Amino acid sequence: MNQNLIDYTLHLADTTLILAQRNSEWCGHGPILEQDIAITNISLDLIGQSRNFYQYAAALINLPITIGTANNPADLATEDSLAYLRTEREFKNLLLVEQPNVDWGQTILRQFYFSVYQLYLFQQLQNCKDEQLAAIATKALKEITYHVRWSSEWVIRLGDGTAESHQRMLAAIEELKNYTGEFFIAAGYETPMGIDFALLKQQWEEKTKAVFEEATLPYPEKTFNQSGGKTGTHTEHLGYILAEMQYLQRTYPGAEW
Amino acid sequence: MQLQDLEKIFQDKIDKEIKIEPKDWMPDAYRKTNIRQISQHAHSEVVGMLPEGNWISRAPSLKRKAILIAKVQDEAGHGLYLYSSAETLGTSRDEMLEQLLSGKAKYSSIFNYPTLTWADMGAVGWLVDGAAILNQVMLCRTSYGPYARAMVRICKEESFHQRQGFETLLVLSKGTDEQKAMCQDAINRWWWPSLMMFGPRDSESTNSDQSVKWKIKRKTNDELRQQFIDMIAEQVKVLGMTLPDDKLKWNEERKHYDFGEIDWDEFWAVVKGNGPCNKQRLDARKKAHADGAWVREAALAHAAKKKNRQLQKVA
Ligand SMILES: [Fe+2]
Ligand SMILES: [Fe+2]
């Protein structure tokens, strides 16, 4: 069993799921109906990606079991057992995506930071030696390209909108500035994946600076990199997300839905 | 042309089943009735996102979560089509929203009931979308063209919602004892409110006659309600559940199900704003609107800046 590959796949799955969960909080509460639909769409795309990763992780985990003799199907990992029955110390999502929705500006900035990172990461994953991960990444790139465009446009619109929107974007930058460094700090299980983190960082910074410039927003130079999400040490927010998300599965163990 | 002639041409078109289009002459009252009805319908789609949105974060599996999000998003889309068709009658979305938020415009009372358990996601899809469909299928043939065409698109998605709702309950009905109880409880709570969705009895209904003559409405409240009861009374058997009405019984003579009396006091209480969630629903819409104000202003301001810059470039 390739534990690194499993952990890495779970990291990708958890990150996309938790961001989907956060974005979906907007459903029915967006600032304008068209954008309510747009953020919900991104949420759906991310859930789709997370399901692909969870299913793959489950297959990897089950591999030695299925080769073995008679086993109880209830012991097999599934996308839902991985999403609903792991604890806050087992989740491997980035800290950025668990940050709460302060306002539309902060949601937009969080999405922008993440989508730009995901774009360049998945471009590398496309050529990953693990065919399954490469396939999932390739499939996702089209929607990620759209997420980058949509969130960039909003960063620009809000940065270069009114005095209030500019101010709110400054607050969002302040709020999130310590949570992007984690993108580029490799966790142990990431090392064998062959990701060029230096390139990733350079591409991410270039794109972010370009969009910020158009948005008349300052790029935050002085940051401290909070990290630990990739290896299960989270901010206090994750516990609440999981408590809510996992409530039915935890309350009625073994039930089918 | 004389007013009578215009009115005659208009009614002739309707009698010949020719759709009325935005640029056609139409009586003021016809325009007003359509604006009122279409905007109420649009508001219902948008407010209707709230009770189901309530369970998105707690959906019990990734598949159910995705289905539920997509469903609620469909309802937002329905709201958009409907606001657009109302706009063809000379009102703006802002005006319509203003009327919703001030409490002047109504939306479907059904969304003033709470969604208390996961089974409510099934019951709402099956019963609420199911009742809505009967009304909407009829509206696919309504006389105002843009409304009828919006309905055709919407109906396809609604019948999908109903099937998904039924399927959600079907899984529960085959599940653990707790799930079965959850399923029956949700049906018990949603049955009567969904019957109320068809409105007051025909004998009590005020603007039905003119609406039927103008073919805005093509079936009466009681006809649609009976059709719904006949359909659901059969489907509930597949679930192995019951409907909470001891008077519900097949009437061989009428070829319809007989049923018990709706609690009209409850109906009017909810219409008048005293349902369990009237306040919460409207507050949620008001909050979203207020919280979004700076975003909408920024979008406008940015668009204006961009346009200015382009003009300066040209000049
Ligand atoms: Fe709808
Ligand atoms: Fe629906």
H-assigned helices in chain B: 3-15, 28-47, 49-53, 62-87, 93-101, 119-123, 130-139, 145-173, 177-196, 208-213, 221-239, 264-269, 278-314
pLDDT in the model for residue B216: 85
The whole-number pLDDT of residue A70 equals: 52
Q: Single out the residue of B160, B181, B158 nearest to residue B169, CA to CA.
A: B181
Residue A147 pLDDT exceeds 60: yes
Nearest to B179 among A24, A44, A255 (CB): A255
Chain A contact set for B170 (CB, 8 A) = none
- Check pLDDT > 60 for residue A69: no
> Taking a contact as any Cβ pair under 8 Å apart, which residues of chain B between 117 and 146 contact chain A?
118
Residues in chain A closer than 8 A to B76 (CB atoms) = 28, 33, 36-37, 40
- Search chain B and give the residue with CA nearest A30: B288
Domain range A3-251, CATH architecture: Up-down Bundle (1.20)
Here the ipTM equals 0.96
B64-89 pLDDT tens trace? 999 999 999 999 999 999 999 999 99
Going by C-alpha positions, the residue among B287, B289, B233 that lies closest to residue B258 is B233
Residues in chain B where the model's pLDDT stays below 50:
none
pLDDT at B207: 61
Average pLDDT over chain A reads 96
Distance B75 CA to ligand 1 centre (A): 4
Alpha carbon of B42 to ligand 1 centroid (Å):
9
Q: Does B35 touch chain A (CB under 8 A)?
A: no
Ligand 2: distance of its center to the CA of B18 in Å? 28
The pLDDT value recorded for residue B212 is 82
pLDDT in tens, A199-237: 999 999 999 999 999 999 999 988 899 999 999 999 999
Count CB-CB contacts under 10 A for residue B94. 9
- Interval between CA B125 and ligand 2 midpoint (Å): 7
The one-character DSSP state at A86 is -
Quick check: A151 and A111 in contact, CB under 8 A? yes
The answer on pLDDT for A119 being more than 60 is yes
Tens-place pLDDT, residues A79-115: 999 999 999 999 999 999 999 999 999 999 999 999 9
Q: Determine, for residues A158 and B295 on separate chains, whether the beta-carbon distance falls below 8 Å.
A: yes
The reply to whether B79 touches chain A by the CB within 8 Å rule is yes
- Residues near ion ligand 2 (CB < 5 Å) are B 129, 158, 161
Q: Does position A58 have pLDDT exceeding 60, yes or no?
A: yes
Distance in angstroms (rounded) separating the CA atoms of residues B226 and B121: 24
Domain spans of chain A, in order of start: 3-251
pLDDT attached to residue B314: 83
